[in-house]
Amino acid sequence: MTIYLLLFVVAVWAGIQNTLAGGGTFLTLPALMLTGMNALQANITSTIALFPGQITSAWGGRKHVSGVGALSFKALVIISLAGGVLGAILLLVTPSRIFAGLVPWLVLFATAIFAWGSFGPKRKAPGHALNHTSAAAAQFLIAVYGGYFGGGIGFLMLAALTAAGLAIRNASATKNVLAGVMNASAVLIFVFSPQVQWLQVGIAAVGAAIGGLIGAHMITRVNEKVLRLAAVGIGIALTIGLFLRAP
């Protein structure tokens, strides 16, 4: 019971973290592994448990979503669905032992992306480094990664969308919706997987949903940089711990 109570508290924190700054996966992944799951089960279960919070954040910013030049928003949605499905299938066919070896590297990559997006140099204005074809290819690759693991996808999409010319406000709202879309495709596949631990899904989903509501009220009261710094610190600690435990 103590472990499940801890999972609930961590899920609430993850819901707040995702609403305000992102990086909730860094919290739920180790918490789920503490309940006895292997890395593959924890990753799949975390994706399903955090999905309801992504729906609410996507709905909240729906008025600002946008396509990228000749690449319509509908096309971005289709690309995200296709990539999310492919990533989810790749995850399900990856043996647990192999995925356990990959997880430290995936978390390291996600932490680096998250840290760079949070504290790296910012572009003063959106540029057009990517045309619509390059933006479509980038979004597909990000969606595949999102369906497979998902850590750091927000910053990857934000970087790609702003490089394609979207203003930061539109890029932020669009990436929230696309993140929900790619994870929806993954969730639709994961729900049929025997790797899903439904008790933990229920506990974490309720906690994350509550955290999302709390985060919405805290959004103007909390220092976002502190939360991002905490997420990076957790990511670093998790990376070190996973490498030490790696087979």
Strand partners, 84: none
Q: What local confidence, expressed as pLDDT, does residue 124 receive?
A: 55
Mean per-residue pLDDT, 159-183? 82
Top pLDDT among 112 and 21 is at 112
Percentage of the chain exceeding pLDDT 90: 35
Q: What local confidence, expressed as pLDDT, does residue 129 receive?
A: 63
**CB neighbourhood size of 174 (10 A):** 25
Percentage of the chain exceeding pLDDT 70: 91
Residue 126 pLDDT exceeds 50: no
Top pLDDT among 3 and 114 is at 3
Distance CA 155, CA 116 (A): 9
pLDDT band at 6 (very low <50, low <70, confident <90, very high): very high
Does the pTM of the predicted model rise above 0.85? no
Mean per-residue pLDDT, 117-138? 72
Least confident of 40-44, 48-52, 125-129, 138-142: 125-129
The 3-state DSSP class for residue 71 equals strand
**CB neighbourhood size of 150 (10 A):** 24
Strand partners, 71: 68
Least confident of 25-29, 121-125, 150-154, 229-233: 121-125
